[in-house]
């Protein structure tokens, strides 16, 4: 049970939390000055210290260097009793389990630094075996250049030992690596240690600067987590060192670990500045759900592929307004874009389809072509029988994507752009290609939109099951969903998600659609549900998900502030923000 550490915000595996000491420490952070090591059991038996709430006490331990034989580790396992003060247990990936500590110290930290594969394996094994609401401390490896990447991976606590020692050795650390102090004609920093003439700057001053630079970088990391922008920063920052670059790529290959911890939506846009963005969970999750859950509901119509636009949602852009007049609701519009893949018009609001900004050069990279073509191929492989024909109203640089799909699936596109998609001639050709099709009604599009969003959020077929025979009110994109005079949900335009009413939540709970349920104890939640009050939660729940809350005395609906697995493991923190609640 974790008593002295609480997570307040999440940005993928990175967490903004608090080590609840007498003087609280906001994490990710250094433990310099607040750590008390009770000692190694290799020298002699160490009694449990008295401890107090002013510091984090590392319990008596046997640390193992990286590479120690598993049989040795098993022979020297330690059992801890619960202690009434903030505590940390030293573990290895093989011996990690729930010791009831507030933090866990991963042994052999310096031996894992520089080896991305081994570090990721150790991290994942440790995280899987320790409670979700405990802090992870890796000692002796943090630098201004790597600490953002380590925090992104899921490390909460660090120390300045390595940075300080490097300073005494004459190495000046900064966010893009390190320099020999003797090679610096001037000091590229304005911290207190660097506010002196270069000729009087000593190695002790260098060590002080290194610690200051590390603290500054951690402050930047915390702010990035608050804003949901750490990954954007790490994509650039990790490139300064080979092993941190490899670490990010190794983490990207661990989709299950990242996806469970990555929110369904964010307040900030995604910056697509490199091909690494294609590997982000938000991008991969959107592509997967579009190609495995979504189905077009405007049957017996042609597909109209369009290019993306700089303005989002696409339908608000000047180019798409021109396309819309030419299509005139006679075809089903799907936009192609990097880094998102393909975006059916019904999901143009759904995160991250309208919450990204990409670097526009006019040229696609090989990786972008491959990714978007693969997503389009999966989309058409699932849905091509829904379309009477395939129309591609795309500029020249999009054509290779369509041609790859034509070759792989044996389909044919009718290309309607002769020079540029928005010229009068091209728009006329697009309109002519849709001759013979009647326009569908606006209400059809609105119904298709709320059903598509339900599919995306809940699962394949959820839209038809939950929103059969509905009426929609309001004006797109602020739609309200009614059934038999009772409001079931609202389309939230900011994120393209659904906000359920109690009636909608009951409809969901009583349907055949798998429900994302949080089971609670016998109390009536007021504003939020805290983790200690949860009996069980669906493993599929992610931060930002709409959830149904059920207990002996209450029925409610709200939005998840933790993932389902974290709800089941945590003993502190807000698990669900409750929107509507009724007492049973």
Interval 326-371: pLDDT, tens: 999 999 999 999 999 999 999 999 999 999 998 777 788 999 999 9
**Residue 440, burial from CB neighbour count under 10 angstroms (0-12, 13-18, 19+):** middle
Mean pLDDT of 297-322: 94
Q: List phi, psi (to 5°) of 160.
A: -100, 15
pLDDT at 267: 84
pLDDT at 273: 84
Are 412 and 513 in the same domain?
no
Q: What is the number of alpha carbons within 13 Å of residue 289 lying toward its C-beta?
A: 26
Residues 46-68: tens digit of each pLDDT: 778 888 999 999 998 877 776 77
- Which position has the higher pLDDT, 75 or 163? 163
In angstroms, rounded to a whole number, what is the distance separating the alpha carbons of residues 461 and 448? 12
pLDDT at 367: 93
In angstroms, rounded to a whole number, what is the distance separating the alpha carbons of residues 474 and 345? 18
- Which position has the higher pLDDT, 136 or 110? 136
Ranges 84-98, 378-392, 541-555: which has the least confidence: 84-98
Residues 161-205: tens digit of each pLDDT: 999 999 999 999 999 999 999 999 999 999 999 998 999 999 999
Asked whether residue 441 is domain-assigned, the answer is no
Are 32 and 54 in the same domain?
yes
One-letter-per-residue 3-state SS of 214-231: HHHHHHHHHHHHHHCCHH
Domain with 166, as residue range(s), is 5-258
- CATH label of the domain that carries residue 176: 3.20.20.105
Are 310 and 190 in the same domain?
no
pLDDT at 259: 97
In angstroms, rounded to a whole number, what is the distance separating the alpha carbons of residues 429 and 467? 37
Are 97 and 224 in the same domain?
yes
pLDDT at 362: 73
Asked whether residue 442 is domain-assigned, the answer is no
pLDDT at 49: 84
Token output for 261? 């911890």
Q: Which positions ≥6 away from 353 have C-beta within 8 Å? A: 286, 312, 313, 340, 343, 347, 496
pLDDT at 268: 86
Token output for 548? 């149904």
Examine the fold and report which residue of 196, 230, 258 is the final residue of a domain before the chain moves on.
Answer: 258
Residues 382-411: tens digit of each pLDDT: 999 999 999 999 999 999 999 999 999 999
Beta strands in 93-176 (DSSP E): 103-106, 135-137, 157-158, 171-174
Number of domains forming the structure of the chain: 3
Radius of gyration of the chain (CA): 27
Are 320 and 416 in the same domain?
yes
Q: At what angle do helices 242-252 and 116-129 cross, to 10 degrees?
A: 50
Ranges 271-275, 279-283, 311-315: which has the least confidence: 271-275
- Which position has the higher pLDDT, 411 or 70? 411
- CATH label of the domain that carries residue 517: 2.30.130.10
Q: Which of 288, 334, 298 is nearest to 456 (CA)?
A: 288
Asked whether residue 446 is domain-assigned, the answer is no
Examine the fold and report which residue of 237, 258, 279 is the final residue of a domain before the chain moves on.
Answer: 258
Contact 445, 477 (CB under 8 A): no
- Kindly list the distances between the CA atom of residue 180 and the CA atoms of 119, 152, 172, 194, in Å, as whole numbers in the listed order: 27, 28, 6, 15
pLDDT at 3: 87
Token output for 507? 């409809």
pLDDT interval class at 575 (50, 70, 90):
very high
CA end-to-end span of the chain: 31
Between strands 517-520 and 534-537, the pairing is antiparallel
Are 254 and 276 in the same domain?
no
Are 67 and 191 in the same domain?
yes
In angstroms, rounded to a whole number, what is the distance separating the alpha carbons of residues 262 and 12? 4
pLDDT interval class at 524 (50, 70, 90):
very high
Asked whether residue 172 is domain-assigned, the answer is yes
Asked whether residue 541 is domain-assigned, the answer is yes
Are 113 and 172 in the same domain?
yes
Examine the fold and report which residue of 398, 433, 468 is the final residue of a domain before the chain moves on.
Answer: 433
pLDDT at residue 584 greater than cutoff 70: yes
Asked whether residue 104 is domain-assigned, the answer is yes
pLDDT at 360: 76
pLDDT at 47: 79
**Residue 527, burial from CB neighbour count under 10 angstroms (0-12, 13-18, 19+):** exposed
Count of beta carbons in the 10 Å neighbourhood of residue 490: 19
Mean pLDDT of 526-540: 96
pLDDT at 406: 97
- Which position has the higher pLDDT, 289 or 63? 289
In angstroms, rounded to a whole number, what is the distance separating the alpha carbons of residues 208 and 206? 5
Token output for 452? 């598509």
pLDDT at 358: 86
Question: At 195, is the secondary structure helix, strand, or coil?
Answer: coil
- CATH label of the domain that carries residue 326: 3.40.50.10630
Are 249 and 275 in the same domain?
no
In angstroms, rounded to a whole number, what is the distance separating the alpha carbons of residues 208 and 222? 21
Are 312 and 248 in the same domain?
no
pLDDT at residue 430 greater than cutoff 90: yes
DSSP one-letter code for 514: P
pLDDT at residue 487 greater than cutoff 70: yes
Token output for 147? 């600490």
pLDDT at 1: 66
Mean pLDDT of 491-500: 96
- Kindly list the distances between the CA atom of residue 44 and the CA atoms of 47, 60, 76, in Å, as whole numbers in the listed order: 10, 10, 13
Are 46 and 129 in the same domain?
yes
Are 410 and 359 in the same domain?
yes
Q: What is the mean pLDDT of the chain?
A: 94
**Residue 560, burial from CB neighbour count under 10 angstroms (0-12, 13-18, 19+):** buried
Asked whether residue 449 is domain-assigned, the answer is no
How many whole angstroms from its chain centre is CA 561? 13
Asked whether residue 314 is domain-assigned, the answer is yes
pLDDT at residue 235 greater than cutoff 70: yes
């Amino acid at each position: 049970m974790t008593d002295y550490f609480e997570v307040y915000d999440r940005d993928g595996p990175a967490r903004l939390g608090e080590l609840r000491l007498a003087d609280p420490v906001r994490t990710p952070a250094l433990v310099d000055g607040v750590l008390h090591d009770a000692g190694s059991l290799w020298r002699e038996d160490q009694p449990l210290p008295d401890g107090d709430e002013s510091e984090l006490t590392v319990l008596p331990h046997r640390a193992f260097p990286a590479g120690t034989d598993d049989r040795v580790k098993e022979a020297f396992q330690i059992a801890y009793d619960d202690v009434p003060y903030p505590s940390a247990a030293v573990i290895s990936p093989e011996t990690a389990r729930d010791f009831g500590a507030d933090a866990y110290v991963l042994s052999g930290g310096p031996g894992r630094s520089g080896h991305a594969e081994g570090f990721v394996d150790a991290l994942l094994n440790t995280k899987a075996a320790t409670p979700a609401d405990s802090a992870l401390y890796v000692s002796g490896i943090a630098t201004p250049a790597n600490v953002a990447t380590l925090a992104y991976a899921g490390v909460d606590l660090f120390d300045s030992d390595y940075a300080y020692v490097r300073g005494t050795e004459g190495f000046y650390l900064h966010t893009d690596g390190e320099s020999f102090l003797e090679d610096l004609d001037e000091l590229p920093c304005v911290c207190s240690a660097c506010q002196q003439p270069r000729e009087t700057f000593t190695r002790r001053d260098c060590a002080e600067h290194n610690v200051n630079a590390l603290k500054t970088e951690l402050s930047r990391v915390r702010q990035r987590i608050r804003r949901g922008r750490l990954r954007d920063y790490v994509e650039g920052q990790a490139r300064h060192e080979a092993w941190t670059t490899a670490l990010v790529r190794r983490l990207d290959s661990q989709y299950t670990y990242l996806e469970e911890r990555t929110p369904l939506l964010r307040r900030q846009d995604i910056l697509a500045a490199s091909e690494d963005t294609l590997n982000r969970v938000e991008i991969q999750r959107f592509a997967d759900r579009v190609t495995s859950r979504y189905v077009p509901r405007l049957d017996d119509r042609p597909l109209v592929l369009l290019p993306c636009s700089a303005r989002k949602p696409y339908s608000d852009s000047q180019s798409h307004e021109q396309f819309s007049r030419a299509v005139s609701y006679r075809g089903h519009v799907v936009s192609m874009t990097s880094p998102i893949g393909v975006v059916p018009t019904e999901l143009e609001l759904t995160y991250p389809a309208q919450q990204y900004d990409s670097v526009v050069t006019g040229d696609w990279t090989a990786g972008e072509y491959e990714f978007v073509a693969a997503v389009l191929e999966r989309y058409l492989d699932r849905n091509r029988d829904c379309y009477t024909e395939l129309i591609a109203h795309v500029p020249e640089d999009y054509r290779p994507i369509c041609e790859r799909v034509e070759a792989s699936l044996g389909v044919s596109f009718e290309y309607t752009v002769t020079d540029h998609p928005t010229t009068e001639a091209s728009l006329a050709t697009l309109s002519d290609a849709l001759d013979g099709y009647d326009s569908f009604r606006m209400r059809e599009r609105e119904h298709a939109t709320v059903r598509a969003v339900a599919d995306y959020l809940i699962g394949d077929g959820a839209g038809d099951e939950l929103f059969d025979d509905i009426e929609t009110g309001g004006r797109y994109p602020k739609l309200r969903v009614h059934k038999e005079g009772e409001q079931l949900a609202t389309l939230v335009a900011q994120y393209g998600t659904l906000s359920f009413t109690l009636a909608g939540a009951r409809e969901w709970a009583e349907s055949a659609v798998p429900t994302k349920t949080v089971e609670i104890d016998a109390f009536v939640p007021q504003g939020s549900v805290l983790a200690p009050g949860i009996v069980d939660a669906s493993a599929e729940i992610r931060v930002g998900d709409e959830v149904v809350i059920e207990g002996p005395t209450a029925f409610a609906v709200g939005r998840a502030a933790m993932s389902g697995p974290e709800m089941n493991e945590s003993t502190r923190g807000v698990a669900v923000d409750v929107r509507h609640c009724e007492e049973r």
